[in-house]
Structure 1
Amino acid sequence: MNHPFLLIIVKVTIFSLMLAMGIKFSLETMFSFWRKPALLFRALLAVVVLVPLVVVALLKLFNLPLGVAMGLVFLAASPGAPLTTKRTKMAGAKSSQSASLQLTLALLAVIITPLTLAIFTILFQSIPEKLTMLDVAKQVTIVQLLPVSLGLLLQKFGANYAVRVEKSLTFIANFLFFILVILACIIGFPLLFKLWGLPLVVITIMVIVSLGIGHILGGPDEDHRSILAISCIARNIGLALFITILNGLEKQVIPTIVAYLMVGAVLGVLYSIYHKRKLAKLP
């Protein structure tokens, strides 16, 4: 599969997912998390600061292949996965709170993503810097900030039309994301065997520690624990793929993204089962 075609697929998929997210959730929904500044601070600290710091520590501790290191860096710089709300609901969380954090991360990605990548290139000289902060910010604005903003505006000023198109657009966006995951697996799966051993152990550590960070900082409210825990591991796979392709590192990095997707899905489901059972025992 050639580079331009895959890039187009990724761009269309991210744009559709973000537009659907903006149409589905209103500005009022987003503000629900903002009304709890202490919780919002802990959430941003966990997802935006501490998870990338975990990656910094792992890269310092372990001598990983460049492709694996780059994959972890791109994932760390890509918070706010489009399906986070669905995943947190599996863990028993309230959708409004989760949706608020998800929207916030999607809008802030235009700052968070280029800044995180710039910090990693400073800390690790071996990481190639093909794109400047401004380049990344422009690209994230086009594929993420712009569609989310358009969706929110449509929800605000054209609610009747938004209701009519929301289900169809969400179906199309989810279908495109499914196709994108399949394409990533086709490209990356044959190379996954190279990740056996240390790289897979490091990816697993990243997921487990990230879950722990979110769970601890989300307390004492159990609902907030699940939201932050899942949000920490739910990195934006589409955005990470987008950055990968822009840097021309598909073959080296996509296997790591696919491995993270699989490990994160399995451990995320196990956490959701554990947390839902814990909630069921509460009075």
Structure 2
Amino acid sequence: MDLISILSTVLKVAVALTVFGYGLSARTEDLLFVLRRPRLLFVSIVAMFVVMPVVALAAHAYLDFPHAAEVALVVIALTPIPALLPRTEIGSGGRARYAFGLAFAVALLSPVIVPALSDLIGRLMDRPFGLSPWTVAVAMLTQILLPLGLGWIVGRLAPRAAERLGGPIVNIANLATLLALVVLLVVVFPAVLSALSLVTLLVMFGFTVAGLAVGHALAGPDRTDSVVLAIACANRNPGLAIGLAAGIFPAESFAGTVIIYALVSNVAVTLYTRLQRRRGVAPAPQVSPTPTASTQEDA
């Protein structure tokens, strides 16, 4: 296993730890929040798995930018898990229950949706993008379903310990993510320089802005839901994207282009979240083990 593979694994483990940390305070109602709302589920799936791949295909069809960036953009659009779900969404004023429920719903549906989409996109681009359901299922199981379920179980069995541990676990995961991204940037810096161009930057930034706009517009009138879906559409997990790209094209490396996307998307998402705070989208309260009046009203 080379260093890039190790760092990609660290990023995946960090996502699992983040999900576990927030799973400590999640309730059954939170996990099923999206699945119990057919309209919200449909809109979320369309935004993440239909509109964003179409945006990537449109960029491929109408813009002239490097091949590695084209492939990376499609793989990013197919990556089912956002980079910072649910931490960024909640901290930016998003509804915690929607963030939890979206992560759970996406993990359940991705093994069916992502392979079908990758096959269709591969046919349209005349390039194989085949992803086996097993590959996606393993990723969703290890990074979302298992850590979320374990966190939920621990939170039910030991609520006081879960309340104390949740914050430190998420902070450790965030630090690991930051360190892994910094080291990865250093390792693939020559590849970043070779892939770096004004066109690539503009395409990556445009893709991110399109994701923010699509998610914000389609989530509905509730602005807290808009924040969650906007970030879920725009900010995909770089570690998982690198892993998927390596599985599809083992002889090629797209780490440099994915890192460019990660940097650009984080800048765009940061600007978006600051704008939402200034517009008065109040941060959602942390989900507690016992129901509150406000969470009962959300249901």
When the two structures are superposed, what TM-score results if normalisation uses the length of structure 2?
Answer: 0.79
1:1-283 aligned at under 5 Å gives the runs 1-2=2-3, 5-6=6-7, 8-81=9-82, 83-127=84-128, 129=130, 132-193=132-193, 194-247=195-248, 252-279=253-280
- Asked whether the 8 Å contact 1:88–1:230 carries over to 2, the reply is yes
**Distance in 2 (alpha carbons) for counterparts of 1:145 and 1:133:** 15
Q: 1:141 to 1:124 in 2, by over 3 A?
A: farther
- Within 1, Cα distance between the matches of 2:138 and 2:95? 33
Contact 2:85 2:99 in 1 (8 A): yes
Structure 1 pair 254/162, CA: closer, same or farther in 2 (3 Å)?
Answer: same
- What amino acid maps onto 1:42 in structure 2? V
- Within 2, Cα distance between the matches of 1:250 and 1:3? 14
In structure 1, C-alpha distance between the alignment counterparts of 2:225 and 2:13, rounded to whole Å: 32
Distance apart, 1:46 and its partner CA:
1.0
Following TM superposition, where does structure 1 have runs of at least 4 consecutive aligned residues deviating by more than 6 angstroms? none
| Higher mean displacement: 41-50 or 246-255 | 246-255
- Is the contact between residue 13 and residue 173 of structure 1 (CA under 8 Å) also seen in structure 2? yes
3-state DSSP of counterpart to 1:229: helix
Which ranges of structure 1 fall in alignment gaps of 5 or more residues?
A: none
Separation in 1, partners of 2:273, 2:251: 31
Equivalent residue of 2:79, what SS? coil
Q: Give the superposition deviation at 1:213.
A: 0.8
Contact 1:211–1:229 at 8 Å: present in 2 too? yes
Task: Give distance in 1, aligned partners of 2:137 and 2:187.
Answer: 27
1:14-56 Cα deviation digits (max 9, x unpaired): 4433433433423222233444332232122112221122112
* Closer/same/farther in 2, CA of residues 165 and 2 from structure 1, 3 Å limit: same
Once residues 206 and 275 of structure 2 are traced to their aligned partners in structure 1, the CA distance between those partners, rounded to angstroms, is 18
Question: What letter is aligned with 1:221?
Answer: D
Work out the percentage of aligned pairs sharing the same amino acid: 25
Answer 1 or 2: which has greater helix percent. 1
Count of aligned pairs between the two proteins: 280
TM-score with structure 1 setting the length: 0.82
Aligned pair in 2 of structure 1 residues 13, 115: CA closer, same or farther (>3 Å)?
farther
Letter in 2 for 1:269: T
1:268 alignment partner, SS class: helix
Aligned equivalents of 1:7, 1:83: Cα separation in 2:
15
Is the CA contact (8 Å cut-off) linking 1:39 and 1:218 kept in structure 2? Answer: yes
Following the alignment from structure 2 to structure 1, what is the Cα–Cα distance between the partners of residues 138 and 90? 32
Q: 1:33 to 1:9 in 2, by over 3 A?
A: closer
